[in-house]
């Protein structure tokens, strides 16, 4: 199994970090988890053409995790030789969001259908939406997936995914604070991928910007670096993979983030940049 951090950014725009998105490769399957800003060029950077993406999983419907899903849907459609529907798995609410997204794309779809006979013959842009909840289990090829509740309130529902293939387990958490669902998902995992924030830097930065009070609110519903490391220890994971850096890591700053996590977790700690991968 190979896990690639396609984008390690957050809602804050960054020149170097794409938005949150992670690629899971196993059993010749390419599964995209979240579709943040610039996910399509990052997929190219990972060597994965869009037609190879077999499914998209969404942890929640915050804009930073879905804002380039339209690009995934459109680019996969127009670059695929055959019209293969794109399965999209997400929490309750995903259908409503996708209906709106497809409405937004409908004019472009009609332009392309009018212009390209082969696209017209194939029947247009196709997605299959599966709304899933904690407790669901299913497979894609030989990859087993279980869905777990996370806690990103007031955003609800939010979910994380435990992927299992050939004895290797990866737990992809999305945005969440530590909670029972997260612990259940991560138990004994080989890889635990967690979106994190630096509480100390958020608190230092907030007074400097006009939206500082709102910026402080994010502390309530994300794991800090230390909390992610504590979860990794509690759940006996082998490798902690950090992503979704708030704020973006400054050049040369990885060591400080690493040291902060290492105070609470003695296993392997992996920190971006974009396109960093782990494999087992
Ligand atoms: Zn986020
Ligand atoms: Zn979020």
Question: How many angstroms is it from 113 CA to the middle of ligand 2?
Answer: 35
Sign of the Cα torsion 8, 57, 35, 46 reads positive
CATH code for the domain of 135: 3.60.15.10
Catalytic: 64? yes
Over residues 219-278, the pLDDT tens digits come to 889 999 999 999 999 999 999 999 999 988 988 889 999 999 999 999 999 998 999 999
Instruction: Tell me the pTM.
Output: 0.96
Interval 142-199: pLDDT, tens: 999 999 999 999 999 999 999 999 999 999 999 999 999 999 999 999 999 999 999 9
Distance 91 CA to ligand 2 centre (A): 13
Residue located via tokens 């979240």: 34
Gap from CA of 124 to ligand 1 centroid (Å): 31
Catalytic residue from among 27, 34, 64, 188: 64
In total, how many domains does the chain have?
Answer: 1
- Residue 223, domain extent: 2-279
> Tens of pLDDT along 80-114?
887 789 999 999 999 999 999 999 999 999 999 88
């Amino acid at each position: 199994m190979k896990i690639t951090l396609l984008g390690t950014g957050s809602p804050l725009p960054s020149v170097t970090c794409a938005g949150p998105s992670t690629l899971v490769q196993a059993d010749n399957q390419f599964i995209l988890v979240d579709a943040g800003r610039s996910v399509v060029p990052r997929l190219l950077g990972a060597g994965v053409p869009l037609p190879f993406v077999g499914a998209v999983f969404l942890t929640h419907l915050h804009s930073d995790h879905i804002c380039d899903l339209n690009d995934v849907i459109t680019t996969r459609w127009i670059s695929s030789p055959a019209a293969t529907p794109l399965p999209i798995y997400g929490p309750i609410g995903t259908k409503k969001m996708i209906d709106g997204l497809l409405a937004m794309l409908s004019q472009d779809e009609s332009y392309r259908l009018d212009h390209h006979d082969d696209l017209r013959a194939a029947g247009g842009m196709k997605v299959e939406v599966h709304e899933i909840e904690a407790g669901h289990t299913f497979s894609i090829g030989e990859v087993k997936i279980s869905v777990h509740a996370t806690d990103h309130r007031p955003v609800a529902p939010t979910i994380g995914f435990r992927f299992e293939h050939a004895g290797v387990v990866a737990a992809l958490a999305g945005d969440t604070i530590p909670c029972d669902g997260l612990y259940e998902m991560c138990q004994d995992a080989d890889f635990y991928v967690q979106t994190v924030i630096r509480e100390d830097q958020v608190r230092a930065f907030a007074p400097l910007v006009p939206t500082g009070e709102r910026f402080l609110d994010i502390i309530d519903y994300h794991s800090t670096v230390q909390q992610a490391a504590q979860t990794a220890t509690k759940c006996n994971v082998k490798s902690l993979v950090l992503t979704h850096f708030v704020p973006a890591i400054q050049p040369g700053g990885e060591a400080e983030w690493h040291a902060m996590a290492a105070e609470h977790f003695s296993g392997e700690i992996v920190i971006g940049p974009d396109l960093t991968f782990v494999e087992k």
